[in-house]
Structure 1
Amino acid sequence: MLRVLTWNLWWRFGDWRARQDAVVAVLREARPDVVCLQEVWVGEEESQVDVLGDLLGMTGVVQLSPSPGRWHRRLGDDRFGIANAVLSRWPIGARTSLVLPAAASEPAERTVLHAVVDAPAGPVPVFTTQLESAPAASATRQEQVRAIVPFVAHHSRYAHPPVVTGDLNAEADSDEVRLLGGHKTAPVVPGLVLVDAWRWADPHDPGWTWDPRNPHVAATCEPGARIDHVLVGAPGAGGTGAVRHVALVGDRPVAGVWPSDHAGVLAVLGP
């Protein structure tokens, strides 16, 4: 079994030190083999990935945003970069990334990070990203998906199907997530289908990763939504990569502290 977790860690907003302790507690309880992260902080001397990796006994790779000005302005601090990252219990054999398109006149600030995890049963191609967040930016997110899917196809020549994760800032029935899946609409790359792991959850569980019970979300006055996703390609021989279980993590406070504004998603993949 392969335990893959995706989670947006909300950079250095709020009481990030207390939140980081809560993040570590959640990850220790969840016991993921691979952790795909968005909005991690990277400084000149230390990065969140290094801190988490040391505490959890994992190795990691990061991809900085090429244009972090939006986050710097929100925090009033430009000393730290913001990045996507992958942590793994096993070695990471290769990594690469792609800068995603942005809306006209906007800086290209989003990326997709690819890492090949050298798992005991064989290499696992893992991808993580964060799409444009503006509610009205579906068209931009669709263009970003059109860049991501060929990138995934090019780097997915393994027995294990691709695992695509991230804060997509879009719900499962949106045009951009349907386009990424490629089975409810014409696929970007013919033959490449990615299935939402949450389809194996309790059908009565909305799976909100953006939940107004969380005070960080309640402060935005936005409705609850499932915007963080794990998608997996068609299972390989013997059920390799088949979804066996899926659940939320970080969806409640730890000793009174909410770890992030997002909940994470943990998917357990077979055989």
Structure 2
Amino acid sequence: MHVMIWNVWWRFGDDWRRREDGIAATIEAYRPDVLGLVEAWSGDGTDQAQRLGTPAGLHAAWVPATEPPADHAGIGFGLGLLSRWPILTIRRCELPHEQRGGPAPAALLATLDHPRGPLHVIVAGTEWEQRFAEDHLAQCRALAALATDIELDGSLPVLLLADLNAGPDQPELLPLLDAMVDTWAAAGADPAAVTLDSALPCAPRDAPKQIDRRVDHVFARPGRPGLMLSVHGAFLAGDRPFGGVYPSDHYAVGVDLEP
């Protein structure tokens, strides 16, 4: 099972249309079975998940994650999911935000019609600003609780595909590391890998806590106690320019799992 997560950087930057061409080309090259999209847009009667999924023959879903920037009225800011298998259900799950206030951010919880049974997938992005560190930790705790809910138990792993805005050595990730498997580490992949790279021209210089860290993650847990979780490999994608433009300010993370 070829699983990927990618923060696709909404419509930020002057070249978002060209960037989207690079995202589509990467999807075509890697052919994921499941792909979570963070910072995916909606508008003009469509959404980015549909635009990317339909040409690739993938099922698509999108939910709003939080409020879009004020100067882009009518363009949603959300989470997307692409799947080789039909998407049976989707649910928008609100996340804690007491410090920041305002509209509640959310995660996407989906159930996929995998041939071996229901496959539960969570797509999420968490708080990034240092001044809202308590929200950040609370959101990771909430995601850990959601992913380990016994209602999601079954024969297949439960997947969390997320931009968690923290590396595995940072305290915000402890609730998830205690509850789930960091598949990048389980695959024996490069521990020094980064997904938010300061070498990129579009790198977010105002995110010192996240820059030059692996902040995008595929976490998983066995479907029920006693089952094994087999990880065969992990890789980065979208780390080369397409038509002279990098597809996003993040690299995509991919993992090969045994379903």
Where 2:220 maps in the other structure, the secondary structure is: strand
The answer for unaligned runs of 5 or more in structure 2 is none
Q: 2:168 aligns to what?
A: 172
Separation in structure 1 between the aligned mates of residue 226 and residue 146 of structure 2, nearest angstrom: 26
Separation in structure 2 between the aligned mates of residue 136 and residue 160 of structure 1, nearest angstrom: 38
Where 2:203 maps in the other structure, the secondary structure is: helix
Contact kept, 8 Å, 2:218 with 2:255, in 1: the verdict is yes
Give aligned-pair identity as a percent: 32
**1:173: Cα distance to partner?**
1.6
- What is the aligned-residue RMSD (CA, Å)? 2.2
**1:220: Cα distance to partner?**
4.7
Separation in structure 2 between the aligned mates of residue 161 and residue 217 of structure 1, nearest angstrom: 33
TM-score (norm 2): 0.90
Of 245, 250, 256, the residue aligned with 2:244 is: 256
Separation in structure 2 between the aligned mates of residue 208 and residue 201 of structure 1, nearest angstrom: 16
Q: 1:186 aligns to what?
A: none
Q: 2:79 aligns to what?
A: 84
Query: For residues 18-69 of structure 1, what are the alpha-carbon distances to aligned partners after superposition, in whole Å with 9 as ceiling and x for unaligned?
Result: 000000111111110011111111114121111111111111111113x41x
Where 1:198 maps in the other structure, the secondary structure is: helix
Contact kept, 8 Å, 1:161 with 1:241, in 2: the verdict is yes
**1:236: Cα distance to partner?**
6.6
Contact kept, 8 Å, 2:79 with 2:107, in 1: the verdict is yes
Of 157, 160, 178, the residue aligned with 2:153 is: 157
**1:121: Cα distance to partner?**
2.6
TM-score (norm 1): 0.86
Contact kept, 8 Å, 1:235 with 1:242, in 2: the verdict is no
Separation in structure 1 between the aligned mates of residue 80 and residue 207 of structure 2, nearest angstrom: 29
Are positions 1:131 and 2:130 aligned together?
no
Separation in structure 2 between the aligned mates of residue 48 and residue 218 of structure 1, nearest angstrom: 22
Contact kept, 8 Å, 2:195 with 2:213, in 1: the verdict is yes
Contact kept, 8 Å, 1:63 with 1:97, in 2: the verdict is yes
Are positions 1:8 and 2:7 aligned together?
yes
**1:235: Cα distance to partner?**
7.0
Are positions 1:141 and 2:119 aligned together?
no
Contact kept, 8 Å, 1:167 with 1:228, in 2: the verdict is yes
Query: For residues 202-254 of structure 1, what are the alpha-carbon distances to aligned partners after superposition, in whole Å with 9 as ceiling and x for unaligned?
Result: 55452200001211116558441110000111377997642111111111212
Contact kept, 8 Å, 2:90 with 2:110, in 1: the verdict is yes
